[in-house]
Amino acid sequence: MPFILAVSGFKDSGKTTLCKKLLPLLKERGLDVAYVKRTHEEVLSPAETDSGLLAQITGPVALWGSDGLRLEDGRQDMDPGRLAALYFPGRHLLLLEGGKELTLPKIWVGDPEGIPEGVVGVVAFYDRDNPCGKERHFCAGQEEELADLVSSMVRKAETSPAEVYSHGRRIPVKSFVGEFIAGGVSGMLGSLKGDFDPEDGVSVHIRALP
């Protein structure tokens, strides 16, 4: 599962601008990054539309058009971990814009002195308007240094070569179990024909048939 890092702050503090600067820098550092924007606005198709009606029957639905694909998932029990496991299991990093109320490691965008009570998990500050004055306090023009910090955090978090999920929830496995699973699966897949390399990472889904 990817390392999940929130980019949080007040409205118009520069969260989106920072994400747009960080994403290409993180990719330059070899990270496969996903991006999610947390909003309190409604984002699903209205219930009376065809897509809304079908979603009530099947669960997640996809709208496939000439310009791409949009997935809609109306489950109310979604959380960052499940979101990452369901839709971005092979990525190194999930950059989540917003979510200051979530218990996640986060970059606080704005004045370090202005963090509201109850916000936890701040690992770095990014303040585009004031000079840097604290440890892990980055200013405009220091996006490269901030990307280096994020990259090092992601690398340190990668401990097991294999992860196991059930119903979108991660099942904890010890490092030696992960190594056993990864070695066994990679060995078996190595004999298959196809344009893929197990060394690049693979996803295996086991379905329980009725």
Q: Which residue has the higher pLDDT, 108 or 173?
A: 108
Domain boundary among 157, 177, 192: 157
Mean pLDDT of 163-179: 68
* Count of structural domains, the chain: 2
Q: Which of 37-41, 95-99, 201-205 has the largest mean confidence? A: 95-99
Same domain, 22 and 113: yes
Global pTM value: 0.75
Output the six-digit token pair for 205.
């889904």
Same domain, 127 and 97: yes
Residue 59 inside a domain? The answer is: no
Same domain, 110 and 32: yes
Residue 51 inside a domain? The answer is: no
pLDDT in tens, 57-82: 888 888 899 999 988 888 887 888 88
Distance CA(95)–CA(22), nearest Å, equals: 9
**The residue count for the chain:** 210
Q: Residue 96 pLDDT more than 90?
A: yes
Same domain, 147 and 196: no
Dihedral of alpha carbons 186, 187, 193, 197, sign: positive
Q: Residue 104 pLDDT more than 80?
A: yes
**In which domain, by residue range, is 143 found?**
3-46+76-157
Residue 71 inside a domain? The answer is: no
When the pLDDT of each residue in the chain is averaged and rounded to a whole number, the result is 84
Residues whose CB falls within 8 Å of the CB of residue 80, separated by 6 or more in sequence, listed in order: 4, 94, 96, 99, 102, 104
